[in-house]
Amino acid sequence: MLNDLAKQEGNVILFIDELHTMVGAGKADGAMDAGNMLKPALARGELHCVGATTLDEYRQYIEKDAALERRFQKVFVAEPSVEDTIAILRGLKERYELHHHVQITDPAIVAAATLSHRYIADRQLPDKAIDLIDEAASSIRMQIDSKPEELDRLDRRIIQLKLEQQALKKRGLMRPARNAWICSTRSWTRKSASIQS
């Protein structure tokens, strides 16, 4: 892959998310890790690369490999504000609506940015707000696609009554008029519950 990228003569910029995972990746007895494989192409200018990682992971992995660190220019990107996150979410809104087949309101976007900033401490904006929108949209889609609880309960009751009816028929204890009335009542109740949902 590196040879193919080098042949592009600088027309391609490789983006590596979680750059720190390249240090030590693929290393076996006597083999080079992925970070060491990148160094020659980066040094010769054959490969243009952007890597993303957190400050802690940069210090833990990249800084310890001085040769790899020299080949990258550090650009610190601060966590966006809640207002910037709202703007980012508004830009992503249509993609998530199409993906989940739901409508995402502007108050939901504002709430996701504000509440994720306030209550989710172990992650950064906009990632935690985006995940919140994604999870909420997924949950709504599942609720739309799933059967209402009352309808499910009635379906199980109908199955139970049909099994009881078959058992009574086998024993010769069936009273047709009463049982038919129960089944038609359950069927009517099921249809009305389906209409209400």
What CATH number belongs to 2-70?
3.40.50.300
Q: How confident is the model over 64-102, as pLDDT tens digits?
A: 888 889 988 999 999 999 999 999 999 999 999 999 999
**CA–CA dist 132, 153 (Å, integer):** 31
- Evaluate if residue 145 carries a pLDDT over 90: no
With bands split at pLDDT 50, 70 and 90, how would you rate the model's confidence at 193? low
Q: Would you say domain 82-145 falls under CATH 3.40.50.720?
A: no
- Evaluate if residue 127 carries a pLDDT over 90: yes
Q: Where are the domains of the chain?
A: 2-70, 82-145, 149-192
Least confident of 42-56, 103-117, 171-185: 171-185
Give residue for tokens 């306030």: 118
> What phi, psi does 49 have (nearest 5°)?
-140, 140
> What phi, psi does 50 have (nearest 5°)?
-120, 130
Q: How many CB atoms lie within 10 A of CB 42?
A: 18
With bands split at pLDDT 50, 70 and 90, how would you rate the model's confidence at 124? very high
Q: Who's near 86: CB < 8 A, 6+ residues apart?
A: 109, 110, 113
C-alpha separations of 24 from 1, 33, 36, 65, 99 in Å: 18, 5, 9, 10, 36
> What phi, psi does 15 have (nearest 5°)?
-110, 125
Give residue for tokens 């009881």: 164
> What phi, psi does 7 have (nearest 5°)?
-70, -15
Phi-psi region of 16 (alpha: psi -120 to 50; beta: other; left: phi over 0): beta
**CA–CA dist 141, 81 (Å, integer):** 29
What's the pLDDT at 29?
52
Map 76-97 to HEC letters: CCCCCCHHHHHHHHHHHHHHHH
| Token couple for 186 | 């359950």
**CA–CA dist 92, 80 (Å, integer):** 15
Tell me if the pTM is above 0.85. Answer: no
